[in-house]
C-alpha cells in the first residue's frame, strides 16, 4: 500500500508521533518556538478521546502532566528555554516518583528571554543537570522532521518502559522546518505501555521493583491505594529518613537506566571506516556537518560524521572506539561548548578535540565546518 506523502513541520510531526504513541493528555503553556505543538495537540486530541488543557504557567503545566500520567494516560508537555527552566523542579518530582511522561524542549537562544525566534542548542547540559540531585536522564534529539515523529514515539516508549520522564530536545530549526514526510501505518509501530500490577489490590507495593529494576505502576482511581511523594521513600511510597533506604532508592533509579543503556542509546555515523577527522554534531547542525563532510570528501579529505541521537545517556563507548582511530574530533554545536565537554571527558587523552561554536542566533553553515577541518589538518 502506497503511503501518502505530506509536507509537514517538525512541531506537527511531534504531535503526530505523540498521538501515534498513545498520548491522550497534553498540558502546557504557549511559548515560542514550541507553540504549534500545543495548538495542534488542542486540535487533534479530542478526535482520539484525549484531553488538552492550557495551564496558567509552565510549572503548572508540568504538574498537570504528572497528574495525568498518574491516572494512566500517556502525557506530554512542550516548551522552550525559559519554560524548560521553570519545569525543572517538577521534572525532578517525576524522576523520584517514577512517573512516565514526555517533555519536549524546542530550544531557542538564551539566557533568560534571549532570542525567542532564533535557534540554539544551549539547553543540552540543563537537560542533564537542570534538576537537582542524582537522577537518571534520557534525552533524545532529532535532526529531521521524519525523525521527530520517530523519536517522539520512542520517547513515549522509553518513558513507559523505564517509568520516568523522557526529554525530546529539538531546536527551532527542526521545530519550524517543513519537509516531505511519509508516516508509517500505525500497525507498523512498536508501542510500549507501562507495566501494570497483576496482584491483588491489597497486596500491591507501589515501588517494589521487578528484576529490571522498574516497579509496575497502577493507575490512580481503579482501586490500588498508594502514596506518591517527592521525598525519599521506601517501597510502599511513604517518606523515610533512613540513610539505607535513601541509598537504595537513588542507586536503583540510576541503575535502572545504566543496566539498560544498550537498549536506550542510539547514534548514527557515516564514513567513519577510514576517517582521519570526525565531525561530531547533533540536531540541525548535523545537517550542515553532513554537507561539509561530502564537500571535503570530494576534495579527498577523509572525514566522517558521528551524530548522537541519544544525548543522554551519552554514547561514550562507540565514540571512544572512533577516537582511537582518528587524528581529530571536531564538535560543532550552537552554544559556546556543552556537548564538547562530554567529548573531552571521554576522548581528551586519546585524540585531539576542536570545536565550532555559534551563539548569534544564526545556524552553523557547512562552509564554517569545512574551514575548521581544513584548519586542523
Can you give the CATH number for the domain in which 59 is found? 3.40.50.970
Residue 2 confidence (pLDDT): 63
How does pLDDT run across 88-102, given as a tens digit for each residue?
Answer: 999 999 999 999 999
| DSSP assignment of 3-29 | PPEEEEEHHHHHHHHHHHHTEEEEEE-
Is 12 among the domain residues?
A: yes
Non-local (6+) Cβ contacts of 303 within 8 A are 271, 275, 276, 277, 278, 279, 292, 293, 296, 297, 373
Can you give the CATH number for the domain in which 351 is found? 3.40.50.920
Query: For residue 279, what is its C-alpha cell?
Result: 565531525
133 to 89, 123, 128, 169, 246: CA distances (angstroms) = 11, 18, 11, 21, 12
Mean pLDDT across the chain, nearest whole number?
97
> Does 312 score more than 60 pLDDT?
yes
Phi/psi at 354 (5° precision): -130, 175
**Co-location of 179 and 72 in the same domain:** yes
**Co-location of 172 and 275 in the same domain:** no
- 101-109 and 115-119 as β-strands: parallel, antiparallel, unpaired? antiparallel
**Co-location of 182 and 285 in the same domain:** no
Helix (H) or strand (E) holding 291: helix 285-298
42: left (phi over 0), alpha (psi -120 to 50) or beta: alpha
> Does 1 score more than 90 pLDDT?
no
Of 41, 52, 158, which Cα lies nearest the Cα of 102?
A: 158
**Cβ atoms of residues 173 and 284 within 8 Å:** yes
**Co-location of 277 and 180 in the same domain:** no
Is 211 among the domain residues?
A: no
Is 225 among the domain residues?
A: no
314: left (phi over 0), alpha (psi -120 to 50) or beta: beta
**Co-location of 184 and 289 in the same domain:** no
**Co-location of 181 and 298 in the same domain:** no
Boundary-marking domain end, from 145, 166, 188: 188
**Co-location of 53 and 180 in the same domain:** yes
**Co-location of 158 and 35 in the same domain:** yes
**Co-location of 170 and 29 in the same domain:** yes
**Co-location of 159 and 24 in the same domain:** yes
How does pLDDT run across 45-82, given as a tens digit for each residue?
Answer: 999 999 999 999 999 999 999 999 999 999 999 999 99
How does pLDDT run across 283-310, given as a tens digit for each residue?
Answer: 999 999 999 999 999 999 999 999 999 9
Boundary-marking domain end, from 155, 188, 221: 188
Is 247 among the domain residues?
A: no
pTM: 0.97
**Co-location of 298 and 160 in the same domain:** no
> Does 3 score more than 80 pLDDT?
no
Of 262, 289, 287, which Cα lies nearest the Cα of 277?
A: 289
Is 161 among the domain residues?
A: yes
Boundary-marking domain end, from 158, 188, 218: 188
**Co-location of 66 and 180 in the same domain:** yes
Percentage of residues in the chain with pLDDT exceeding 90? 98
Query: What is the domain extent for residue 94?
Result: 5-188
> Does 232 score more than 90 pLDDT?
yes
Is 105 among the domain residues?
A: yes
Average pLDDT over residues 351-370: 97
How does pLDDT run across 177-196, given as a tens digit for each residue?
Answer: 999 999 999 899 999 999 99
Distance between CA atoms of residues 358 and 332, nearest Å: 9
Distance between CA atoms of residues 342 and 177, nearest Å: 28
Number of compact structural domains in the chain: 2
Is 264 among the domain residues?
A: no
Is 299 among the domain residues?
A: yes
Amino acid at each position: 500500500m502506497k503511503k501518502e506523502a505530506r509536507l509537514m513541520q517538525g512541531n506537527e510531526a511531534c504531535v503526530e508521533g505523540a498521538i501515534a504513541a498513545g498520548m491522550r493528555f497534553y498540558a502546557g503553556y504557549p511559548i515560542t518556538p514550541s507553540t504549534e505543538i500545543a495548538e495542534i495537540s488542542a486540535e487533534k486530541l479530542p478526535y482520539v478521546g484525549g484531553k488538552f488543557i492550557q495551564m496558567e504557567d509552565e510549572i503548572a503545566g508540568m504538574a498537570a502532566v504528572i497528574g495525568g500520567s498518574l491516572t494512566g494516560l500517556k502525557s506530554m508537555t512542550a516548551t522552550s528555554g525559559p519554560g524548560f527552566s521553570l519545569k525543572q523542579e517538577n521534572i525532578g518530582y517525576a524522576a523520584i516518583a517514577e512517573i512516565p511522561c514526555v517533555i519536549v524542549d524546542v530550544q531557542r537562544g538564551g539566557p533568560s528571554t534571549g532570542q525567542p525566534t532564533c535557534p540554539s542548542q544551549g539547553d543540552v547540559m540543563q537537560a542533564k543537570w537542570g534538576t537537582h540531585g542524582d537522577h537518571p536522564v534520557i534525552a533524545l534529539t532529532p535532526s529531521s522532521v521524519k525523525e521527530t515523529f520517530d523519536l517522539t514515539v520512542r520517547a513515549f516508549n522509553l518513558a513507559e518502559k523505564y517509568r520516568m520522564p523522557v526529554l525530546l530536545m529539538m531546536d527551532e530549526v527542526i521545530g519550524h522546518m517543513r519537509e516531505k514526510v511519509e508516516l508509517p501505518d500505525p500497525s507498523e509501530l512498536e508501542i510500549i505501555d507501562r507495566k501494570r500490577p497483576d496482584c491483588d489490590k491489597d497486596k500491591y507495593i507501589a515501588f517494589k521493583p521487578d528484576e529490571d529494576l522498574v516497579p509496575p505502576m497502577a493507575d490512580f482511581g481503579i482501586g490500588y491505594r498508594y502514596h506518591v511523594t517527592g521525598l525519599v521513600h521506601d517501597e510502599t511510597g511513604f517518606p523515610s529518613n533512613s540513610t539505607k533506604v535513601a541509598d537504595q532508592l537513588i542507586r536503583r533509579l540510576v541503575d535502572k537506566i545504566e543496566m539498560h543503556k544498550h537498549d536506550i542509546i542510539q547514534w548514527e555515523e557515516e564514513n567513519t571506516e577510514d576517517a582521519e577527522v570526525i565531525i561530531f554534531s547533533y540536531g540541525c547542525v548535523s545537517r550542515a556537518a553532513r554537507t561539509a563532510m561530502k564537500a571535503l570528501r570530494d576534495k579527498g579529505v577523509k572525514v566522517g560524521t558521528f551524530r548522537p541521537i541519544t544525548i543522554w545517556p551519552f554514547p561514550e563507548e562507540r565514540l571512544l572506539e572512533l577516537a582511537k582511530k582518528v587524528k581529530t574530533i571536531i564538535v560543532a554545536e550552537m552554544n559556546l561548548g556543552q556537548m564538547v565537554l562530554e567529548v573531552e571527558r571521554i576522548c581528551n587523552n586519546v585524540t585531539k578535540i576542536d570545536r565550532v561554536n555559534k551563539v548569534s542566533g544564526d545556524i552553523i553553515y557547512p562552509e564554517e565546518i569545512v574551514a575548521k577541518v581544513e584548519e586542523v589538518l
